Structure 1
Amino acid sequence: MDDLPRIDGGRLWSRLMEMAAIGALPDGKGVNRQALSAEDRDAMRKLIGWGQAIGLAPGFDTAGNLFLEMAGQTQGAPVLIGSHLDSQPTGGRFDGVFGVLAAFEALETLHDAGIVPPRPVTLVAWMNEEGSRFAPGMMGSEVFAGTRSLADIRATADAGGVTAGAELDLLAESFPDVPCRAPGFALHAYVEPHIEQADLLETTGMVIGAVSGIQGKKTYDLTLTGREAHAGTEPMERRQDAVQAFARIAAAMQSAALAAGPDIRFTIGRVEVLPNAPSVVPAEVRFRIDLRHPENAVLDATGLALEAAARDGAAPCQVAVRRMVDAPANDFSPALRAAIRESAAAHGIPAADLLSAAGHDARHMAPLCPSAMIFIPCRGGLSHHPDEWAEPAHVAAGAQVLLDVCLRAASSDQGDLT
């Protein structure tokens, strides 16, 4: 691969740090750049400006996904590369944005070398991958893939009552000169770089991960409804205490999850109690469940067991169970995974196959076209945290492998990429 262009790792690192200043937390380490916020729009504006400076054509779709297109020698479905710009409220400087800026560095390297790819190559920054402001996440990629309606995401409101629809309208108003189209178009291939968000690469001395697939995920929203009463006067036998029902259900769910084996991941990560007063019997508990497993059969069976635990443990309260996310496990293209490993080997970069335990927008691209993910290590596996860190050399390695794989995909028939 000596004849292939080489990315500029210093330039990429500089841009990562420049982007980290948008929404920077007071400690100077982390980032708060949540979906469709003013900070998110500022990050898009900076990216668009960088792209226009090298002749990339910007465009949005009505779901808020941002695209920067490099024309190819022929027209047709593009190779799509990128990730997301939004962060958690106390996020880091690499999650999501590394993938976007690695994609930009790949395109800028092609531009600087005067190379026109065989087919179009398009950078994407997906809207609301994180789901911290508007839940659940991956809204933009789901609408693009046709698995969720635009009307559904527009109606979703944040904690302050602001709807995603209102913010999408503001986004369009903020970029009046950028074309906007309906979501979805044909893809030749999709490649997403990302930090691993775990420590397997780091602990094994690997620098590049050729991701085999993403484990399945289910998300539930549950509401337990009891009856509010005075804590000092209401007899115990008459109480419809929503917290006690929650305690029974949480213990039963933990047991059901553990019965599924060591690969299950079960989390109750959000609990709200109403009225949340020290001298009042709680009338309502709302909580969220995150359930994950790499095998769909185990995931489905465990999900049903959790729902049964909720029904069986609710009395004398009532329970409502809402399925928010039902994303099956998926595999990525063997041919693209092989291309990732071959690129790494050509550059003397240690690489390994591994499964993604976290969800990514690539999950929704895999049914549409040959798709892949490239992981780089993050220190201690720490992510969604201000101390999240990736080494500059690893950042550069990930971008170089992305460029190599992108060019191979753009030069190949789609049938050769499956």
Structure 2
Amino acid sequence: MTKLGDNLKIDSARLWDTINETAKFGGTPKGGVRRLTLGPEDKLVRNWFRKACEDAGLEVHVDALGSMFALRKGRDMSKAPIGIGSHLDTQPTGGKFDGILGVLGALEVLRTLNDAGIETEMPICIANWTNEEGSRFAPAMMASAAYVGDFTTDDILSRRDIAGVTVGDALDEIGYRGDVPVGTQKFSGFVELHIEQGPILEAESKTIGVVEAGQGVLWFDGKITGFESHAGSTPMPLRKDALATLSEIVLATERVVSNIGALGTIGEAVIANPSRNVIPGEIAFTMDLRSADAGKLEAIEKGVRDAIKEIAAHRKVDVAFDKVWHKPPTHFNKDFVNAVETAATSLGYSHRRITSGAGHDACNLNNIMPTAMVFIPSKDGISHNELESSAQDDCAAGANVLMHTVLALAGVASK
């Protein structure tokens, strides 16, 4: 690790102030944030971020999907920068830390380096990736996925929200469709600071999570087709009940993932034409399966499919079950992970290695560059909720680890 002295620390109060200042853009009565991607509140926070970066002497540019990049020059501009950052969009009932800490923590790191008069060998670039949450447009982590080549720019621009508005139209509406082609901004590697969004660090009284892996994700869209019939005149053995079928699928999925040691969630279920005295004949549902082990992910998919086939036959219904997204497990770069751990150790923070339960832009970026993540505790493990909270000292600790990790990777220019 580059030794500037472990007494080099970010300004905790300044970081905390920026977190609370930006929380006003889409702030909710319960203290959370509703800032859907490419909406009016997103425009406001983007304008704030652009000005803050320019005030810090950074060069800001925007790509064709609205991702923002703020570059701090290094001594050797022939090298691609070390990337830091995350996202500024939120869930409909989100908090003021998820993603936001990663962007504002990155800004605070560069402000601190400016204050200390430190020049790095390599440039450093903050990224604000468009639509990480996926709450308005699908897929989640949209812009970083396009950056690594999983989707074309035109494909993403054509995606529509529930009101039929395309990504392209939404970008034009807020003035953030940039001229720079996606992928133009290159990186030597990327480090993302984030809240854990889970209970482990808090439960173990650890300040820093050194993220070494991210769970793989499988998403499915399902549709059960039974037969609507009268609730009072159809005998139980003769029913083709879509809801009863879904109930069995839910419990079977729970058994499969529990036996294998993974995670499974049916997060949406919609009965077509529901009525109190009609047996449900059609239900659409979604399923989310997760594991950090590719073999387990494959095993739970097979187990769930086998269970669904058996249940459908028993219930005499048809079940369509289509895979709509597959994100393989992420294993972050060992050198970058070690740099995070070294920074945490040198700064005296308690820490542990950890697997991310959620997806992040860094997980996409890891496909084409060395990447790592820094976690801090989430109070009660709560996230994607207005009650989401992290302590000021923990936010500062995460930003300090980010800063010293970046200094180790980017190097300090010799005088």
- Alignment TM-score, normalising by the size of structure 1: 0.91
Please report how far the alpha carbon of residue 296 of structure 1 lies from its aligned counterpart in structure 2 after TM superposition. 0.7
Matched, 1:272 2:270: yes
Please report how far the alpha carbon of residue 289 of structure 1 lies from its aligned counterpart in structure 2 after TM superposition. 0.8
Aligned to 1:15: 18
What number of residue pairs does the alignment pair up?
A: 406
Aligned to 1:91: 94
SS at match of 1:259: helix
CA distance in structure 1 between the aligned counterparts of 2:141 and 2:272, rounded to whole angstroms: 29
Describe the superposition over 1:66-109 as per-residue Cα deviations: whole angstroms up to 9, x where unpaired.
11111221223111101111111111111110011000111112
CA shift in 2, pair 1:205/1:253, >3 Å: closer
Describe the superposition over 1:198-257 as per-residue Cα deviations: whole angstroms up to 9, x where unpaired.
222222222111111112111111112234444445566665432233223223323322
Alignment counterpart, residue 121 of structure 1, candidates 112, 116, 124: 124
Superposed counterparts of 1:354-393, under 5 Å: 354-393=354-393
Aligned-partner residue type, residue 167 of structure 1: A
CA distance in structure 2 between the aligned counterparts of 1:249 and 1:13, rounded to whole angstroms: 45
Alignment counterpart, residue 101 of structure 1, candidates 98, 101, 104: 104
Alignment counterpart, residue 31 of structure 1, candidates 25, 30, 33: 33
CA shift in 2, pair 1:270/1:234, >3 Å: same
CA distance in structure 1 between the aligned counterparts of 2:249 and 2:155, rounded to whole angstroms: 30
Superposed counterparts of 1:260-409, under 5 Å: 260=260, 263-315=261-313, 316-409=316-409
2:35–2:89 CA contact under 8 A, matched in 1: yes
Please report how far the alpha carbon of residue 391 of structure 1 lies from its aligned counterpart in structure 2 after TM superposition. 1.1
2:64–2:179 CA contact under 8 A, matched in 1: no
Alignment counterpart, residue 162 of structure 1, candidates 157, 161, 165: 165
Superposed counterparts of 1:220-231, under 5 Å: 220-231=220-231
CA distance in structure 1 between the aligned counterparts of 2:361 and 2:64, rounded to whole angstroms: 17
CA shift in 2, pair 1:67/1:266, >3 Å: same
Report the aligned-residue RMSD: 2.1
1:138–1:360 CA contact under 8 A, matched in 2: yes
Superposed counterparts of 1:74-223, under 5 Å: 74-75=76-77, 76-171=79-174, 174-175=175-176, 179-183=179-183, 185-223=185-223
CA shift in 2, pair 1:55/1:222, >3 Å: same
Aligned to 1:415: none
CA distance in structure 2 between the aligned counterparts of 1:310 and 1:163, rounded to whole angstroms: 35
Aligned to 1:73: 75
Residue ranges of structure 2 left out of the alignment (5+ in a row): none
SS at match of 2:212: strand
CA shift in 2, pair 1:279/1:154, >3 Å: farther
2:15–2:105 CA contact under 8 A, matched in 1: yes
1:57–1:69 CA contact under 8 A, matched in 2: yes
CA distance in structure 1 between the aligned counterparts of 2:201 and 2:237, rounded to whole angstroms: 54
SS at match of 1:72: coil
Residue ranges of structure 1 left out of the alignment (5+ in a row): 413-418
150-159 or 195-204: which moved more?
150-159
Aligned-partner residue type, residue 73 of structure 2: A
Aligned to 1:63: 65
Please report how far the alpha carbon of residue 159 of structure 1 lies from its aligned counterpart in structure 2 after TM superposition. 2.7
Please report how far the alpha carbon of residue 175 of structure 1 lies from its aligned counterpart in structure 2 after TM superposition. 4.3
Please report how far the alpha carbon of residue 372 of structure 1 lies from its aligned counterpart in structure 2 after TM superposition. 0.5
Describe the superposition over 1:94-145 as per-residue Cα deviations: whole angstroms up to 9, x where unpaired.
1110011000111112222333321221101111111222233111111111
1:62–1:183 CA contact under 8 A, matched in 2: no
CA shift in 2, pair 1:247/1:203, >3 Å: closer
CA shift in 2, pair 1:61/1:348, >3 Å: same
Please report how far the alpha carbon of residue 185 of structure 1 lies from its aligned counterpart in structure 2 after TM superposition. 4.4
CA distance in structure 1 between the aligned counterparts of 2:208 and 2:255, rounded to whole angstroms: 36
Please report how far the alpha carbon of residue 179 of structure 1 lies from its aligned counterpart in structure 2 after TM superposition. 4.6
Describe the superposition over 1:6-52 as per-residue Cα deviations: whole angstroms up to 9, x where unpaired.
3111111000000111111122x111112222111211111001011
Describe the superposition over 1:238-288 as per-residue Cα deviations: whole angstroms up to 9, x where unpaired.
65432233223223323322331xx31111111111112213332321111
CA distance in structure 2 between the aligned counterparts of 1:58 and 1:353, rounded to whole angstroms: 34
